[in-house]
Amino acid sequence: MPITNIEINREINFLSILDENGDIDKKLDPKLDDKSLKDAFYYMLLARRFDERLLALQRQGRIGTFPQASGHEAISMGSIMAIQKADFHVPAYRELVGMLYRGMTLETMLLYWMGYEEGAQIPEGVNDLPACVPVASQLLHATGIAMAMKLKNEKNVVLTYIGDGASSEGDFHEALNFASVFNAPVIFICLNNQYAISIPVAKQMKAKTVAQKAIAYDIPGIRVDGNDVLAVYKATTDAVARARNGDGPSLIECLTYRITPHTTADDPKKYRSVDESSKWLNKEPLIRLEKYLIDKKILTKTAKEEMEELIENQIKQAILRAPEIIKERDLDNPERIFNYLYKEMPANLIEQKQELLANLTVNKEVNLAHNH
């Protein structure tokens, strides 16, 4: 038999609308109204300032290790604006702005990074999952939710997120394969910030783009400027429309840069040059959106200052309120660890709980005696 050619579409496009100088490609402008643009900037600024404050709190020992989201705001914001309330949002751990936009409170986010499981509690009526730290595992959850939507004949979609390093995980490929085979209405968004912790993209994969991995699963793939909130919005809006129309999943690779360490336990100076980081700082999302909004007279410098003051007060109040919530809800009571596992507690746990309470009583009495 002769060798025959199998035709495969290998074209991957790159989308950019708003450049680093705040100039826009008018032909590609998604034409968001002024309020939507101003709201986008507000939530991006809120997430940036809160992220910066979380870093200060971590350095003070008031919260645990956490991954900063600064520099990734356009990806989370641009995509979250493209879905509806009934749709599902399945984040990884840098979707701070999207979680705030969907209704998660600053106080709840503080509880999460302080180590309280109540920090993963989603507000009533919000179709979000908690932030997911295990790499790529949330993609399976997202695909499962999307498949359930399809089986129930719902016209909703799911947004889920990963980093570039996660595209090398088995869960990534399993999720894309399953979503493709069963035409699940899920949009996979990759935050390609150039590094999987300390490993640059060039040492992670030989593929030129993450987006081209969509070809293997016969689904649409596109690379966009991840610092351009309008480009992310446009690409996500198109993918959401396809998914809602029954045309299945999409993969969107958002090219950006991690302007912070991977987490507060990381030192990027050991593997990244100062020159490299400086070049990307000029491309960051907040600066370019602010330039565009001021140029369009949607935002004034005075309004920006008022926004900063409002955000500063919101963050201060949340930091004051979080310890009050811990006290009101008795979250520091160690007895609580037994209370939410079983409807009827088994005998071995009853015994462990009694032993803990007895030890706590003894320790309390010892401490009282010592203090006297």
Rounded to 10 deg, the angle between the 73-80 and 34-59 helix axes is 140
The residues annotated with a catalytic role in the active site are 258, 262, 271
220 and 191 in contact (C-beta within 8 Å)? no
Contacting residues for 86 by C-beta, under 8 A, at least 6 apart: 127, 154, 156
- Measured CA to CA, the distance from residue 307 to residue 20 in angstroms comes to 22
Compute the residue count for the chain: 372
Which of 260, 125, 267 is closest to 191 using CA atoms? 260
Say if residue 5 is exposed, middle or buried (CB neighbours under 10 Å; 0-12, 13-18, 19+). exposed
